[in-house]
Amino acid sequence: NAGVTQTPKFRILKIGQSMTLQCTQDMNHNYMYWYRQDPGMGLKLIYYSVGAGITDKGEVPNGYNVSRSTTEDFPLRLELAAPSQTSVYFCASSYISRTDTQYFGPGTRLTVL
Amino acid sequence: RKEVEQDPGPFNVPEGATVAFNCTYSNSASQSFFWYRQDCRKEPKLLMSVYSSGNEDGRFTAQLNRASQYISLLIRDSKLSDSATYLCVVNTGTASKLTFGTGTRLQVTL
């Protein structure tokens, strides 16, 4: 099993550009999450999904969108990138519930200039 | 009060030392507790879950104190490879979600 994979690893965007961060898991987990981590800060939940076709907002959803058309994939869309979205983005998944052990992807480092 | 609070450190300890971190949480109804480890510029990885009776995994011991609302992580015989940031994770709130602490940085030196 590859676990949770994310692409790209790094990306530089200009202000106002858009992009999609890809996340795939092969563990058949129902729950998937997107977090951002700023330097010296904890992980902040952006969006989560409890299964295919179901998504919900986390703590910091503004400026982002998600979709979950399959169990495996949970892409995060950034529209109109802003410097405040410069961060490391982690995708994670869990099997049983939102309070179950979460398994993380390697992250995407995004810089918006 | 923050939902999950940790001393950011850094804790600088020599190899072979014993070191302990605490983490306090604000929601007395919390049921799930974890310690994650995060190496520099890497993703968080589960170190161990924390059970009510306390649990041990090799050199690592985790304890839960519900009365005082904190969990602890004890590392014995520290290795250079233990250098990392240790994240305290607690389920909080009625939405039943996990909240990650900002982490405690450990640096083990020769």
Residue that is written with structure tokens 């979600």 in the block = B97
B:44-103 residues touching chain A, CB 8 A cutoff = 44-46, 49, 87, 91, 95-103
pLDDT at A2 (0 to 100): 86
CB B46 within 8 A of CB A100: no
Measured distance CA(A98)–CA(B92) in Å, rounded? 11
Is the Cβ pair B4, A42 closer than 8 Å? yes
Is the Cβ pair B49, A101 closer than 8 Å? yes
Is the Cβ pair A101, B87 closer than 8 Å? no
A:52-81 residues touching chain B, CB 8 A cutoff = 58
Cross-chain CB nearest to B43 (options A48, A97, A104): A104
| % of chain A exceeding 70 in pLDDT | 100
CB neighbour list of residue B29: distance below 8 Å, 6 or more residues apart: none
Could you write out the DSSP letters of every residue in A30-82? SEEEEEEE-TT--EEEEEEEEETTEEEE-S--TTEEE--SSSSB--EEE-S--
Tokens coding A24:
């795939």
Q: Omega into A75 within 30° of 0, i.e. cis?
A: no
Identify the closest residue of chain A to B6 by CA–CA distance.
A42
User: Which site among A10, A43, A94 would you substitute to test the B interface, given the most B Cβ atoms closer than 10 Å to its Cβ?
Assistant: A43
Kindly list the residues from chain B whose CB atom is less than 8 angstroms away from the CB atom of residue A43: 44, 87, 100
Kindly list the residues from chain B whose CB atom is less than 8 angstroms away from the CB atom of residue A97: 96
CB neighbour list of residue A100: distance below 8 Å, 6 or more residues apart: A31, A94, B32
pLDDT tens, position by position, B36-72 = 999 998 999 999 999 888 999 999 999 999 999 999 9
Kindly list the residues from chain B whose CB atom is less than 8 angstroms away from the CB atom of residue A90: 43-44
| Residue A90 in contact with partner chain B when CB distance is under 8 A | yes
pLDDT tens, position by position, B3-18 = 899 999 999 999 999 9
Closest approach of B38 to chain A, Cα-based (Å): 11
Kindly list the residues from chain B whose CB atom is less than 8 angstroms away from the CB atom of residue A47: none
The DSSP symbol for A84 reads G
CB neighbour list of residue A45: distance below 8 Å, 6 or more residues apart: A33, A34, A35, A58, A59, A60, B97
pLDDT one digit per residue (tens) for chain A, 113 residues: 789 999 999 999 999 999 999 999 999 999 999 999 998 788 999 999 999 999 999 999 999 999 999 999 999 999 999 999 999 999 999 997 877 889 999 999 999 99
Is the Cβ pair B102, A41 closer than 8 Å? yes
